[in-house]
Structure 1
Amino acid sequence: MYAMSTPSGATGAAPRIPESRVPEAVHRRRWAILGVLMFSLLIVVLDNSILNVAVKTIAAPEPTGIGATQSELEWAINSYTLVFAGLLFTSGLLGDRIGRKKVLLFGIAVFGLGSALAALSGSPAELIGYRALMGFGAAFVMPATLAVLMNVFEREEQPKAIGIWAGSVGLGIAIGPITGGLLLEHFWWGSIFLVNVPVAVVALVAMVLLVPDSKDPRPGRVDPLGVALSIVGLVLLVYGIIRGGELADFTGASVLGPLLGGVAVLALFVWHEKRSSHPAIDISYFRKPAFAAAVAAIALVFFALMGVTFFSAFYLQSVRGYSALQSGLLILPLAAAQMIFAPRARLVVDRFGARAVCTVGMLLVAAGLAAFALFGADTPVWVLCLVFFVQGTGMAHIMPPVTVAVMQALPREKAGSGSAINNTFRQVGGALGIAVLGSVLSATYRGGIEGHLGAVPAGARDAAGESIEATLGIAEKMGPAGRPLISSAYDAFLDAMHVTALGSAAVALIGAVVVALFLPGLPEPRKLAGSEEAPEPVTAARG
């Protein structure tokens, strides 16, 4: 016998939409299915965090690396981001229509193939192309994992499952740099991609055996115009963001053109969806303050965090002199905090409400980011670890509640669309953070180092001012005469990092204001109306 339920600790979700119960056979193996979904998500998260510690090695001349320039390295990262962000929304719609398991299997197979090809890249151009193929596959993986989760867990267990799902992201953040460091110490640079292949094979087998398929039983008519507009708009927007970060200038025609074009196409997409009789996504969901605040919080926290993740790798390796493996180990506290607290975030939300929990989480993230403004070349390691732990704790109390708010606002049949919205805002926010904060870092660094390049040959001065890596490379070639330049490079980078960290913290504070104003607080358990009391929530029972 089944009893319907209304959760008492709702986290900003819309009023419940009646849903069918999960089949008993699926319900019994739901935790095993969650394990498979986490394993699938892991390879996507792990790959990006691995690449962050490998950029120096890939930039080295052959045979150590492939001699990628700074711009080529950025596009090895950005080609993945561009394709991934552009297709997230479409892949979520396809999952709802043709089946999430089919989409997930396709995505993992393509991701595995792209990883194998990337490992064998003979030039930076090939690596960029194969990274784009990996992004294509990943776009079908990430939304589908969350959509399947929503269809194998009952509503009352979804917050717990989403917390564990979010914790697996922390696991990927931890395993990636450590795995990357170990592989780079013992194998060639391509091994950081080749390691994905056996993981993808295991994930495919486990998925075929355990994961049930699900889709929207009444998908309605296809909206090809809406799908096309979403792809074009997102690709143009993300390309403009990436291009602006690459040039450290958002005023040029090559940046403003795609940016404004993307915004215009996405505005046309919204206009079309509001008037369509069969919209790809119901725009009215964004009129709900809790839903809109949740997706805004996702974008803002990743804007702030991804920018810092980008420059912290250079701080740890270039300024502090840590190896790729040591840098990965220093990220462990951030990942450990997420793995510890994310699965338990629902308990704190039940007690204090989503508004209070997410606001405090945002403030913790802001404090962790602002702490980078105090870091120097000799800051004790335990302080770094403590700051990373604080950041991870804040993230663990933001992402599960806001993800629940987004996913439970939509009916289960539209789980793919909800997951796509969640991941699209996260990806665009992260790309914007890397581009904007990376631009601030580059511009501030160039301004600080230019006055110290007098001893550098005239033909190399422009290149020497691009980044701390470029400056240190020139200084090394100059021999003893380059030693003063090394010290100046460290000082200029630390000044630039301090400015960028404060900018990141300011963005996180904006996020704190958004969630404090618009996410719901604790629901009142009882309301007296004359002599009548509102009935208490009915709990679920299976029997």
Structure 2
Amino acid sequence: MKTTTKNATPLDAAAELENGSSLLKQPRAVWAVFFAGIISFMGIGLVDPILPAIASKLDATPSEVTLLFTSYNAVMALAMIITGAVSSRIGIKKTLLSGIVVIALFSALGGASGDVWTLVGLRGGWGLGNALFVATALTAIVSLSSGGPAKAVILYEAAVGLGISVGPLVGGWLGAISWRGPFFGVAVLMVIAFFAIVFLMPSDGKKANPSVAPVKKTSILDPFRALKHRSLLIFGLGAALYNFGFFTLLAYTPFVLGLDEHGLGYVFLGWGLLLAFTSVVMAPRLSNKFGTIASMCVMLILFALTLFAMGIWTSNQSLIIVCVILAGAFLGNNNTLITTAVMNAAPVERSTASAAYSFLRFLGGAIAPFTAGKLAEVYNPHVPFIFSGVFVILSVILIVWNYEHVKHVNEVEGH
């Protein structure tokens, strides 16, 4: 039986790896998208090491600077609703190139900006470009891959992990020269990625993987219709709640660590490497042995406990560093587990389910950073971590409370 894009998951891909099949024998077009994907996902953690520097140079408060994450995630959340409709009409290649152009343009303008509010707005434009690219990259890799959809999924997950882990390191090194450096750096790398895809990626309709069904035209209402399925709604709301913790960690922790750009870059590099490793290697094994839902809830509880520890011992720099890096393992596992659950949650197209889920989870990621900054300003540095830890616990309660509606993801054949 042929594997379709809709049914392929990171867990399927791990099974193929265990069977000894190679991921490296891919067309050049796949590697072009892979490279662009790394640069695109760098945007999530790229600004982490330079947040204190931006606050200092642009005379902004921590809560104002955290809006760089808020605008980025808010625009991504809204744009996820339209990406399916756009790519199904203008084609995968044009959608990828459009996203790259938007990212390059707004990151370059961000590097040239002179005040924090202009930078916040331009970061939102970056989020639009990222939504167009990210929502289409998986489909592109699967369509172009010569080794089957499941194997292509793990290439996508590898690009995600490398981008998230390398982003803070690049941000730290370029940010040590100037806070503007990471913005200009991404713009240059995206220009390279643009030409790589132009020359290496075939026109839409020429696919190396014949098992992938043609892209169907979708409506912007399809993701909202998909949320009528309670299981998908539960996972989306759960992700929105746990993203309070995820983006509090990313956007607020740099202000309490007291490190320079290089130091912050190395700390979040460790975080990203653990996230990448666990998302690809550990999560499939946990799911196979204990089940997706149980593994997910344990990872969320461990992440919440980490946030509580950070909230209690906020002034202990060494402990905060260890907690940040350790949190990468819990987040990496959970990201793969919940993505796998979403793909099997409801009888809708994979792209539609992903758009609906991403809309909700990025809304959580939009609210959390600014909330964390404000709580620290109004109360004290401990409160944001405690507050976000409570939200992560609420995500566990939501999933457990609705277990009867989501347990079927443990039973889906092909995990």
Whether these two folds match at TM > 0.5 is: yes
Structure 2 distance, partners of 1:93, 1:135, is 18
The 5-angstrom pairing of residues 158-307 of structure 1 reads 158=150, 161-162=152-153, 165-185=156-176, 187-208=177-198, 209-210=200-201, 213=204, 217-219=215-217, 227=220, 279-281=221-223, 283-284=225-226, 286-289=228-231, 291-307=232-248
Of 98, 107, 110, which residue of structure 1 is paired with 2:102?
Answer: 110
User: What is the percent sequence identity of the aligned residues?
Assistant: 24
Amino acid across the alignment from 2:378: A
The aligned runs of 1:291-330 (5 Å cut-off) are 291-317=232-258, 322-330=259-267
Which residue of 392, 398, 403 maps to 2:339? Answer: 403
String of CA shifts for 1:54-104, please: whole Å, max 9, x gaps.
2332344xxxx4445667535554443443332221123211232222111
Following superposition, the deviation at residue 152 of structure 1 comes to: 5.0
Give deviations 1:261-317, integer Å, cap 9, x for gaps.
Answer: xxxxxxxxxxxxxxxxxx53462554252x333323322221222123222111112
Query: Is residue 2:262 matched to residue 1:375?
Result: no
CA offsets, 1:197-231, max 9 Å, x none?
A: 231122223323136636965427xx5xxx4xxxx
Distance 1:360 1:99, change over 3 A: same
One-letter amino acid matched to 1:50: L
Question: What is residue 286 of structure 2 aligned with on the other side?
Answer: 348
Q: Give the distance between the partners of 2:373 and 2:61, measured in 1 at CA.
A: 17
Could you tell me whether the CA contact under 8 Å between 2:76 and 2:127 is conserved in 1? Answer: yes
Rate the CA distance shift 1:180–1:217 in 2: closer, same or farther, 3 A.
Answer: closer
| TM-aligned CA deviation for residue 195 of structure 1 | 0.3
Give the corresponding residue for 2:17. none
Deviations along 1:174-194, whole A, 9 cap, x unmatched? 322222222232x33321111
Please tell me whether the aligned partners of residues 11 and 401 of structure 1 are also in contact (alpha carbons under 8 angstroms).
Answer: no
Q: 1:176 to 1:168 in 2, by over 3 A?
A: same
Deviations 1:363-413 (A, max 9, x none): 22112212202324345x3x444423431121122111221333355789x
Q: Is the 8 A contact 1:310 1:434 kept in 2?
A: yes
For structure 1, the 5+ residue unaligned runs are: 14-26, 228-278, 446-492, 526-536
Number of the residue aligned with 2:276: 339
Partners of 1:294 and 1:326 in 2: how far apart?
A: 35
Q: Which has the larger radius of gyration?
A: 1
Which of 520, 523, 526 aligns to 2:407? It is 520
Contact 2:45 2:164 in 1 (8 A): yes
Report the equivalent of 1:359: 297
**1:141 Cα deviation from its structure 2 partner:** 1.3
Q: Is the contact made by 1:12 and 1:520 (CA closer than 8 Å) also made in structure 2?
A: no
- Cα separation, 2, equivalents of 1:45 and 1:522: 27
The answer to whether residue 376 in structure 2 is matched with residue 438 in structure 1 is no
- Distance in 1 (CA, whole Å) between partners of 2:261 and 2:116 is 21
Offset at 1:164? Answer: 5.1
Question: Which residue is equivalent to 2:36?
Answer: 40
Q: Determine if contact 1:89/1:420 at 8 Å carries over to the other structure.
A: yes
Aligned pairs, number = 391
* Cα distance change of structure 1 residues 38 and 362 upon mapping to structure 2, 3 Å threshold: farther
Give the corresponding residue for 1:56: 52
Q: Greater relative contact order: 1 or 2 (C-alpha under 8 angstroms, separation 6 or more)?
A: 2
- AA partner of residue 339 (structure 1): A
Matched, 1:119 2:96: no
- Which amino acid is the alignment partner of residue 366 of structure 1? A
Summarize the Cα distance change of 1:285–1:127 in structure 2 as closer, same or farther, 3 Å threshold: closer
